[in-house]
């Protein structure tokens, strides 16, 4: 019984955390151009204040490419032999560098939802879901207007992708 009460209180405490959905259906405003949509998407990704903020954003006709930077991994092998009063060393080094990032294909975007942080006013998120319902990306911002504009811009790019 005591365990049941503790579990119940924990669930109630956790229910207050996170984000609550805002009743908003993304719809690009009449007259929105591709350039305006791209500018909005780039700006919001660059202003994202979460830990997943990209270092660079590229919007193409088919996808949004988000770069997290370069990662290099290397290995070094060395050997040395003593010959008389001196040593001779030989070594090799290999480094592989690759770009770390994510592509969000417009034809894979399903629902775009706008949310407000429950415990902190003035914090919003737009969650981009795939057609199968999985989360592709959550982007955080500090104004409802910007969240709605971002959702509208994503919807425009999805509807007008090639």
Query: What whole-number distance in Å separates Cα of residue 17 and Cα of residue 75?
Result: 44
Q: How confident is the model at residue 8 (pLDDT cuts 50, 70, 90)?
A: very low
Query: What whole-number distance in Å separates Cα of residue 157 and Cα of residue 35?
Result: 10
114: Cβ contacts below 8 Å, ≥ 6 apart: 21, 22, 24, 26, 124, 125, 126, 144, 147, 148, 151
Query: What whole-number distance in Å separates Cα of residue 138 and Cα of residue 129?
Result: 9
Q: How confident is the model over 9-37, as a mean pLDDT?
A: 77
Q: How confident is the model over 93-102, as a mean pLDDT?
A: 72
Count of Cβ atoms closer than 10 Å to residue 130 Cβ: 15
Average pLDDT of the chain, as a whole number? 84
Contact 41, 64 (CB under 8 A): yes
- What is the reported pLDDT for 12? 43
For the whole prediction, is pTM greater than 0.85?
A: no
- What is the reported pLDDT for 19? 74
Q: How confident is the model over 112-127, as a mean pLDDT?
A: 89
Question: Cα-flanking dihedrals φ and ψ of residue 36, to 5°?
Answer: -65, -40
Of residues 10 and 95, more confidence is placed in 95
Residue with tokens 């990662």: 71
| pLDDT-above-90 percentage for the chain | 56
- What is the reported pLDDT for 43? 96
């Amino acid at each position: 019984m005591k365990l049941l009460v503790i579990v119940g209180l924990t669930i109630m405490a956790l229910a207050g955390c996170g984000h609550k959905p805002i009743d908003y259906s993304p719809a690009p405003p009449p007259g929105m151009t591709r350039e305006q949509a791209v500018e909005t998407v780039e700006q919001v990704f660059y202003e994202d204040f979460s830990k997943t903020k990209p270092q660079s954003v590229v919007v193409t006709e088919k996808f949004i490419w988000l770069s997290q930077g370069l990662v290099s991994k290397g290995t070094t092998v060395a050997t040395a032999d003593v010959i008389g009063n001196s040593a001779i060393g030989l070594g090799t080094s290999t480094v592989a560098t690759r770009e770390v990032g994510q592509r969000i294909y417009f034809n894979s975007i399903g629902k775009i939802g706008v949310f407000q942080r429950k415990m902190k006013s003035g914090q919003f998120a737009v969650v981009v879901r795939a057609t199968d319902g999985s989360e592709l990306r959550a982007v955080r911002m500090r104004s409802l207007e910007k969240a709605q504009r971002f959702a509208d811009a994503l919807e425009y790019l999805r509807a007008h992708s090639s």
